[in-house]
């Protein structure tokens, strides 16, 4: 016989686990990027760069509007994502990521064979991963993180690969411009990070998160478990609520979609570059909306063997570098190994201190 009282307590406890305070536009800045996307004055670029700098040092998350990508870009990407995930399973499995040396292609629901972000149940998501299109002489062919894309059969979804190739190129251009703004905010030359991201590690991911039914849900499972991003920068668009980030006080905040804007967040390597001045904040996803949720993050990492060491404006005699020089390949590979051994992602700097007090 089912113990109704105990079941009710379990549901309430599970529901409480997913709770987060709602972020308002006032508390998570919406930064107008038109000074960089539309060729603004140097004074306007400086002002925008300082806004981004403030956001990166306070939470490591912000919204970016007037980013210069076509107005329909985000909604069209959502629609192509829905079309792909609506394909029959056998059509999606033609691009099975297990057939790729660089994990490009499709991971089915639940995400058993993709990344594991916790010791609990696998993330309640299905994904499709792509990287930037690479030329034959691209130095990143030698890394384990970049490789040839796997596309679905064009007869199953005609036009998909062409749209996504263009999407990757547009978003990479935007992310390089954001890095230029970050350089200015750090009192560095605008092109300071350009060489590091000439042949970057880039992954764009389409995610489908079915709604979580709290009454039937495994209490160890999330849409995406708690984690921090390993690279330089992430940009993300989302159709529904579900994204949550931990603030400096150790409280979880909900980050709702803002139409036409991207969510931007700092990754572990950029935090390391800035001597932990920037925050790579932990975040997670719980889709409690009752509807399917689509998100389309893109992750930027420096070129694999490019040296990553504390930038000159972020250390002094009284604040020496906290981390030895490294490379993207070295650090990300180490993070992945440690995550597999520990059963949880690697979280560094101030974010690790906050998570430890959760």
Distance in angstroms (rounded) separating the CA atoms of residues 9 and 14: 9
Note whether residue 9 is domain-resident: no
CA 255 to chain centre: 13
Q: Tell me the mean pLDDT per 10 residues along the chain, length 358.
A: 37 51 68 96 97 96 97 96 98 93 86 51 89 78 74 97 96 98 97 94 94 71 84 97 90 93 96 95 91 97 91 95 90 70 57 52
Note whether residue 16 is domain-resident: no
Range of the domain at 214: 23-356
Least Cα distance to 196 among 304, 276, 330 occurs for 304
Note whether residue 18 is domain-resident: no
- CA atoms within 13 Å, Cβ hemisphere of 39: 0
Question: Helices in the chain by DSSP H: which ranges?
Answer: 4-17, 34-37, 42-58, 73-85, 89-92, 160-185, 268-273, 328-342, 349-356
Note whether residue 247 is domain-resident: yes
Check residue 358 and give its pLDDT: 41
Check residue 206 and give its pLDDT: 98
Note whether residue 193 is domain-resident: yes
CATH number, domain with residue 156: 2.60.120.330
Note whether residue 250 is domain-resident: yes
Note whether residue 7 is domain-resident: no
Check residue 55 and give its pLDDT: 96
- Give how many domains the chain has, as a whole number: 1
Q: Which pair of tokens denotes residue 202?
A: 């880039």
Note whether residue 145 is domain-resident: yes
């Amino acid at each position: 016989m089912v113990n109704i009282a105990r079941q009710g307590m379990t549901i309430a406890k599970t529901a409480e686990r997913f709770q987060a305070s709602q972020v308002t536009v006032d508390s998570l800045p919406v930064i107008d990027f038109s000074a960089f996307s539309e060729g603004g004055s140097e004074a306007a670029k400086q002002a925008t760069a300082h806004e981004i700098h403030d956001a990166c040092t306070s939470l490591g998350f912000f919204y970016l509007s007037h980013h210069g990508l076509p107005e329909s870009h985000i909604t069209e990407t959502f629609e192509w994502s829905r079309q792909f995930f609506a394909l029959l399973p056998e059509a999606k499995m033609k691009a099975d990521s297990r057939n790729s040396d660089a994990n490009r292609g499709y991971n089915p629901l639940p995400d058993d064979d993709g990344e594991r972000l916790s010791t609990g149940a696998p993330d309640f998501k299905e994904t499709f991963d792509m990287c930037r299109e690479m030329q034959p002489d691209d130095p990143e062919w030698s890394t384990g993180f970049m490789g040839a894309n796997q596309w679905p059969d064009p007869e199953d979804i005609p036009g998909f690969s062409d749209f996504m190739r263009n999407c990757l190129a547009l978003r990479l251009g935007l992310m390089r411009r954001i890095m230029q703004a970050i350089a200015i905010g750090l009192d560095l030359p605008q092109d300071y990070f350009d060489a590091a991201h000439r042949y970057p590690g880039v992954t764009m991911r389409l995610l489908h998160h079915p709604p979580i039914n709290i009454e039937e849900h495994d209490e160890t499972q999330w849409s995406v478990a708690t984690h921090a991003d390993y690279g330089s920068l992430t940009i993300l668009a989302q159709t529904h609520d579900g994204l949550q980030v931990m603030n400096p006080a150790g409280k979880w905040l909900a980050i709702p979609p803002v139409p036409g804007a991207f969510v931007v967040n700092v990754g572990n390597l950029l935090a390391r570059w800035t001597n932990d001045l920037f925050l790579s904040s932990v975040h997670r996803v719980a889709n409690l909306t009752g509807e399917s949720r689509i998100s389309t993050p893109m992750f930027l990492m420096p070129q694999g063997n490019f040296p990553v060491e504390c930038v000159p404006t972020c250390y002094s005699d009284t604040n020496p570098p906290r981390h030895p020089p490294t490379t993207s390949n070295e650090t990300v590979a180490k993070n992945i190994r440690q995550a597999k051994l520990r059963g949880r992602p690697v979280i560094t700097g101030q974010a690790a201190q906050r998570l430890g007090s959760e």
